[in-house]
Amino acid sequence: MISENEQDNLIRTVWREENKINNNEDNSQNNNNEFEFESTFSGGIFSNDQSFLFNQNTNEIISPTERETVKDKFYKNRVLILKHIPFIIPFEVRVNMFRAMIEQDKRNRTGPFEWSSPVTRATIRRDRIFEDGYDQLNSSNLRQKVQISFINEQGLPEAGIDGGGVFKEFLTSITHQAFDMNYGLFLSTSNQCLYPNPHSYARQDERLRYYEFLGRILGKALYEGILVDVFFASFFLSKWVKLGGISYLDDLPSLDEELYKGLLYIKNYKGDIRDLSLTFSIDDEQFGVAKSIDLIANGSSIPVTDENKIQYIYHMANYKLNTQIYPQCKAFFRGLSDLIEPRWLQMFNQQELQTLISGSNSASVDIIDLKMNTEYSGVYDENHPTIKLFWQVVNDLSEEQKRKLIKFVTSCPRPPLLGFKTLQPKFAIRDSGNDQERLPTSSTCINLLKLPVYRTYDVMKSKLIYSISSDSGFELS
């Protein structure tokens, strides 16, 4: 286990190196890290006076001229561990480091007075969320605070001031729409995981600008710690970690399991491979028309043989995993890197990155944790009879129903990465009248459940299950 003090020291060390990379170190940061160096080395490993450092483990005296070398090694070793073998550091610690780097980045951009920092404002029509978002928020200044005003379906401005909750609703709504396969920018694998559409029309200039915008939107979700209910194919997530890096044959099952098995069949084929009548080409359907595409120059004229079948397997996998979607990925990562420094993502593997995006996919929702981090308003407090009934019902729900409840209130069916204590705003319950026929409603933008003052367990359970199973979410009535 890493202690809280060690975790803080590690975060300061990494941020020191981040500042060096960005060429914006100042004296105060140097002083902070000097203190961190001294306090760490005086914690049982080194002690120092004005003239030397003393290694208590080896009884070695370190001269003042060697001091800076020792300090550089101290910092660099920590950063090298994080860069090359980050997984020896617990995931929760790396998440805290990721969040700390983002918070420091925000402070560097806003200065000491957050209230005076610039704000990006956008007016969004509810029936044109993607189009209005693209027109008004498709720039590189999304690290600034964003405030959203909604226009309803009748063309009227919705009341309220965006303190963060309305923007969260916008973000979850636009990702739900833009990553829908019907929108044509992303396709789904057999496991219902998304990857960029390889179709030629997705490589048109306008579509590539959409991909760049979506990279910024996902980057903003990560930057603000807002979970979105979107799952990506593992091979595509690996490119996030490598910022557009190459995917290999071992990544192919996450895209096309059958093609992967077919290529392994070719690799292990015992007969004459020419019996399969393969060439270095692939038939790809575009706009309903089959088109032969060469994997190498003049590939359609080059037969696959026992001597070159490994090359064929490589080129086939490379085409599917890389070549087909290279422009789409390049545009997406260009947008993503406007918000999230690539170095920050290299601390995580594909599965951990998916958890950063959409939350923990653990086997069960921790209801005790949820209850401890729930706030009440109106007539409710933790001792109110209706609230006691509510938690009795929640404890009796199936795991699937518990996830539906979380989604109904927060818009995401998975708990926050580091528990409900980190959910912002807090999970909250407010009364909504005494009508026993009224259904619970929710305001997902502020994680608020509006719960009528039910008097019996059976009514509470039936009404709650009906609402969370409707999959309607915001302001169901």
More confident residue, 112 or 124: 124
What digits encode the pLDDT tens for the residues 167-195?
A: 888 998 999 899 988 889 999 999 999 99
pLDDT of residue 72: 53
Asked whether residue 218 falls in the same domain as residue 119, the answer is yes
In a domain, 234, yes or no: yes
Asked whether residue 377 falls in the same domain as residue 319, the answer is no
Least confidently predicted of 193-202, 211-220, 362-371: 362-371
Q: Which of 193, 329, 412, 445 is catalytic?
A: 445
Domain boundaries, position 413: 367-469
| 445 given a catalytic annotation | yes
Q: What are phi and psi of 325, to 5 degrees?
A: -115, 15
pLDDT of residue 346: 86
Q: For 402-408, what is the mean pLDDT?
A: 93
Nearest to 295 by CA among 271, 263, 256: 263
Q: pLDDT band for 363, please (50, 70, 90 cuts).
A: low
Domain end marker among 174, 207, 229: 229
pLDDT averaged over every residue in the chain: 83
Asked whether residue 391 falls in the same domain as residue 332, the answer is no
On the question of pLDDT at 30 being above 90, the answer is no
Asked whether residue 245 falls in the same domain as residue 225, the answer is no
Compute CA distances 191 → 18, 180, 239, 246, 378, whole Å.
37, 15, 19, 22, 44
Contact of 422 with 227, CB cutoff 8 Å = no
Domain end marker among 334, 355, 376: 355
In a domain, 265, yes or no: yes
For 120, other C-beta atoms within 10 Å of its C-beta total: 16
In a domain, 158, yes or no: yes
Asked whether residue 195 falls in the same domain as residue 247, the answer is no
Asked whether residue 207 falls in the same domain as residue 240, the answer is no
Asked whether residue 105 falls in the same domain as residue 118, the answer is no
The pLDDT > 90 percentage for the chain reads: 51
Q: For 216-226, what is the mean pLDDT?
A: 94
Sign of CA dihedral 453, 455, 460, 466: negative
Asked whether residue 124 falls in the same domain as residue 207, the answer is yes
- We report the CATH number of the domain holding residue 180 as 3.90.1750.10
On the question of pLDDT at 333 being above 50, the answer is yes
pTM across the whole model:
0.79
Q: pLDDT band for 470, please (50, 70, 90 cuts).
A: confident
Vertex 224: Cα angle to 220 and 227 (nearest 5): 85
In a domain, 258, yes or no: yes
Q: pLDDT band for 49, please (50, 70, 90 cuts).
A: very low
Grouping H, G, I as helix, E, B as strand and the rest as coil, residue 272 is coil
pLDDT of residue 96: 87
What digits encode the pLDDT tens for the residues 7-26?
A: 666 666 666 666 666 655 44
pLDDT of residue 51: 45
Instruction: Give me the number of domains the chain comprises.
Output: 4
In a domain, 302, yes or no: yes
| Residue 476: Cβ-neighbour burial (10 angstroms; 0-12, 13-18, 19+) | middle
In a domain, 361, yes or no: no
What digits encode the pLDDT tens for the residues 296-305?
A: 999 999 999 9
On the question of pLDDT at 46 being above 80, the answer is no
Asked whether residue 120 falls in the same domain as residue 201, the answer is yes
In a domain, 379, yes or no: yes
On the question of pLDDT at 208 being above 90, the answer is yes
Q: For 346-374, what is the mean pLDDT?
A: 89
Q: pLDDT band for 382, please (50, 70, 90 cuts).
A: very high
Asked whether residue 12 falls in the same domain as residue 60, the answer is yes
What digits encode the pLDDT tens for the residues 280-315?
A: 999 887 766 778 999 999 999 999 999 999 999 999
Q: pLDDT band for 428, please (50, 70, 90 cuts).
A: very high
Contact of 238 with 247, CB cutoff 8 Å = yes
Asked whether residue 81 falls in the same domain as residue 160, the answer is no
In a domain, 475, yes or no: no
Contact of 466 with 401, CB cutoff 8 Å = no
- We report the CATH number of the domain holding residue 263 as 3.30.2160.10
What digits encode the pLDDT tens for the residues 256-269?
A: 999 999 999 999 99
Domain end marker among 177, 203, 229: 229
**Encoded tokens for 472:** 């309607």
What digits encode the pLDDT tens for the residues 65-119?
A: 555 555 555 555 666 666 677 788 888 888 988 998 898 888 887 766 666 678 8
Asked whether residue 212 falls in the same domain as residue 286, the answer is no
Q: pLDDT band for 334, please (50, 70, 90 cuts).
A: very high
